[in-house]
């Protein structure tokens, strides 16, 4: 089974620029998550989708971050404009079903550096 695909693997941008990340989850996984992992910390949930609907975006900084999951498959996460503190690894994960007991499969992440 193919894993969760993310691109790009690395991105370096200047502050105030825009950036977009792409995620293709495991086929058949209805639930998709975007996490932000700052160096030395655990992953922090940004947004959760169930099919193409948003389930939880309470920790998404909506003034600069946006995400969509058109057609309930691929997803994109955008930052506009980026700040220095957005430097982190952005992880996408998917699971077969929402909630407890359903293990997440993570992609390798996109490492963003804002300079």
Point out which residues bind another protein (CB under 8 A): 4, 33, 35, 40-45, 48, 55-56, 91, 93, 98-101, 103-109, 111
Q: How far is the CB of 85 from another protein (least distance, A)?
A: 17
User: Other C-beta atoms within 10 Å of 103: how many?
Assistant: 7
Q: Is the peptide bond before 81 cis (omega within 30 degrees of 0)?
A: yes
Comparing CB distances to another protein, the nearer of 56 and 74 is: 56
CB 107 within 8 A of CB 94: no
Closest approach, Cβ 55 to another protein, in A, equals: 8
CB of 103 to another protein, least distance (A): 4
Gyration radius from the chain CA atoms? 13
Our CB check for another protein shows the closer of 35 and 65 to be 35
In whole angstroms, give the CA distance from residue 75 to residue 51.
Answer: 10
* Nearest residue (CB) to another protein, 80 versus 97: 97
**Alpha carbons 66 and 89: distance in angstroms, whole number:** 16
Name which of 74 and 106 has its Cβ closer to another protein.
106
């Amino acid at each position: 089974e193919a894993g969760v695909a993310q691109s790009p693997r690395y991105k370096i941008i200047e502050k105030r620029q825009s950036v977009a990340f792409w995620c293709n989850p495991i086929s058949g996984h209805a639930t998709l998550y975007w996490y932000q992992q700052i160096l030395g910390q655990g992953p922090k949930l940004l947004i959760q989708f169930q099919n193409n609907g948003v389930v939880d975006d309470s920790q998404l900084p909506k003034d600069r971050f946006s995400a969509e999951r058109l057609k309930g498959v691929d997803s994109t996460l955008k930052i506009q404009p980026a700040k220095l503190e957005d430097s982190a690894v952005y992880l996408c994960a998917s699971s077969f079903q929402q909630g407890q007991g359903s293990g997440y499969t993570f992609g390798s992440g996109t490492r963003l550096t804002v300079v």
